[in-house]
C-alpha cells in the first residue's frame, strides 16, 4: 500500500465550495482507501491505496466529490515519496524561514519554464521563485497575501490549462510526515 496526499483546490474559501473534512474522510473511505486522515480545513487529505496511478486516483476523487457535493473540485494526488522529494529539493533555506514565507505550488503536469520567461525575478526582490518538475517554490518574506510575485505567477498566461494548488511550508512538512512510511521521520530517516 502506498500513502498519498490528496490536494483539493479552492475549497472552504470564504464559504464557497464547502467540503467538511469529516465528509471528505468518509468519501475517501467509501472509495476503498485506508488510513484516511485530513489536515486543516483547506483540502488536504492523506490515505493509503494499492493503486499506483495518481491521475486515476485524482479523477476518481473529483468525480466522487462532484456526485456528493454537486460542484467540481480539481484534485491533485501525490505519493509520499514524491512529496518528500519535492520538499528536499527546495532551493530556499526552509529551516530558517517561517512557514508562511515559503510555499510550494503543485501542478498537474511538468512545469514549462517558458511560461515564466516574462517574469523578471529582479523586479520582485527580495521575493523569489524556483521551479521543480511539477512544482514551483515561492519565497515571499511578507507572506502570500502581500506577495506581488505570487500575483504575477498566478496570471492566466502562466497558469493557462493547468491545475495548480499551493500550500505553505507548514502544510508541506505536515503532509510529508503524514505520508511517510511507518517508522520514518519527515526527512526519511528511520525513527
Q: For strand 44-49 and strand 75-79, is the pairing parallel, antiparallel, or unpaired?
A: unpaired
C-alpha cell at 160: 493557462
pTM: 0.90
Q: Pick the closest to residue 157 from 109, 108, 119, 130 (CA basis).
A: 119
Within 8 A by CB and 6+ apart from 86, the residues are 78, 104, 106, 132, 135, 172
CATH number of the 2-79 domain: 3.30.70.1280
In angstroms, the CA 157 to CA 149 distance is 14
Per-residue pLDDT tens listing for the chain (191 residues) = 999 999 998 776 666 788 889 999 999 999 999 999 999 877 899 999 999 999 999 999 999 999 999 999 999 999 999 999 999 999 999 999 999 999 999 999 999 999 999 999 999 999 999 999 999 999 999 988 899 999 999 888 888 889 999 999 999 999 999 999 874 444 444 33
Identify the pLDDT of residue 12.
66
For residue 27, give the C-alpha cell: 468519501
Q: Max Cα separation, the chain?
A: 49
Q: β-strand 44-49 against 34-39: which pairing, if any?
A: antiparallel
Where are the domains positioned within the chain?
Answer: 2-79, 83-179
Q: What is the pLDDT of residue 15?
A: 66
Amino acid at each position: 500500500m502506498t500513502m498519498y496526499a490528496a490536494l483539493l483546490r479552492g475549497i472552504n474559501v470564504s464559504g464557497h465550495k464547502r467540503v467538511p473534512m469529516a465528509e471528505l474522510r468518509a468519501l475517501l473511505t467509501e472509495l476503498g482507501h485506508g488510513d484516511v486522515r485530513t489536515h486543516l480545513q483547506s483540502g488536504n487529505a492523506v490515505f493509503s491505496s494499492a493503486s499506483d496511478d495518481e491521475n486515476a486516483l485524482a479523477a476518481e476523487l473529483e468525480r466522487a466529490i462532484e456526485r456528493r457535493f454537486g460542484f467540481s473540485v480539481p484534485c491533485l494526488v501525490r505519493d509520499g515519496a514524491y512529496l518528500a522529494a519535492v520538499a528536499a529539493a527546495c532551493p530556499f533555506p526552509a529551516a530558517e524561514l517561517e512557514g508562511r514565507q515559503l510555499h510550494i505550488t503543485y501542478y498537474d503536469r511538468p512545469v514549462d519554464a517558458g511560461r515564466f520567461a516574462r517574469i523578471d525575478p529582479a523586479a520582485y526582490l527580495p521575493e523569489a521563485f524556483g521551479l521543480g518538475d511539477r512544482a514551483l517554490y515561492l519565497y515571499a518574506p511578507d507572506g502570500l497575501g502581500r506577495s506581488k510575485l505570487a500575483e504575477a505567477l498566478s496570471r492566466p498566461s502562466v497558469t493557462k490549462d493547468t491545475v495548480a494548488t499551493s500550500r505553505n511550508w507548514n502544510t508541506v512538512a505536515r503532509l510529508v510526515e503524514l505520508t511517510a512510511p511507518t517508522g520514518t521521520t519527515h526527512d526519511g530517516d528511520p525513527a
